[in-house]
Amino acid sequence: MNLEYRYLPPEFVPDAVDIHIEGQPGTMLTLLGRPFLLELYRATLYSRWAEGFGVFHNGQLVAQAAMAASSAHFFGEFKRRRLWRVSLPVAAAIFKAPRLLKYIGQSWRYADLTRSPDGECDVIFLGVKREYMRHGIAPELVNYMFGWAHLHGMKSANFMVDKRNRAVRWLVSHKLKGFYLAHEFEAYGRTMLFYKVPIADNLDTAKMPAGEPVVPAYTYTEDENGNPRWI
């Protein structure tokens, strides 16, 4: 199968949202509605705190992923600059499912839940279209995500995984080196596992996506005293 792994172009954001909805039906982000997800995935492309990736087969998007170089900065920026654009659809979604109000309150604290310090990036989403599963696409996509993370100075890639999601748990435990379970917590009505994977342990398989990002992400570094810097 001839596949191309590249930075996600903006015109494929609707297709990325379709993959998200198919892969996570009934989850908090999906229940907030398609307009919210469209705005979220556009933000990953235009923010300097995140990046989006796609896998293409014959010009069709068949898998996608998004990462935050800093969840605290990315989601803080999203709330300040973009959330107002989808306030009405989100309000309608809450009216249909009032329990979302509690989960939205938890999402405001996403960075507190993950507790990822500067220099550690978080996987926002990783998904493959159903008909393309079991072809090794997800592990290979992670290799490109890690190449990007290394380029931008990241020390760890972190995965927040629903405890019932056996596919991603298998990927982390069988395909990635040096992983460990950092903590476990309840969020969005589910038990979540938070894995950390050292980038340095996986550089032998890391690769760079094709193409160019819409907006290059910040790079993490430290000064001579070990203080964090973003450039």
For 79, phi then psi, to 5°, come to: -65, -35
pTM: predicted TM-score of the whole model, two decimal places: 0.94
- Digit-coded pLDDT (tens) for 139-191: 999 999 999 999 999 999 999 999 999 999 999 999 999 999 999 988 777 89
Q: Which residues contact 193 (CB under 8 A, 6 or more apart)?
A: 160, 161, 162, 163, 169, 181, 184
> For the structural domain made of 4-230, what CATH number should be given?
3.40.630.30
Question: What average pLDDT does this structure show over 103-129?
Answer: 83
Provide the pLDDT confidence category of residue 14 given band limits of 50, 70 and 90. very high
Torsion angle of C-alpha atoms 165, 168, 171, 172, degrees rounded to 10: -100
Provide the pLDDT confidence category of residue 107 given band limits of 50, 70 and 90. low
- Digit-coded pLDDT (tens) for 23-47: 998 888 898 999 999 999 999 999 9
- Location of structure tokens 């493959």: 128
Domain ranges of the chain: 4-230
Per-residue pLDDT, 106: 66
Among candidate residues 69, 90, 94, 93, the one with its CA nearest the CA of residue 79: 90
Provide the pLDDT confidence category of residue 13 given band limits of 50, 70 and 90. very high
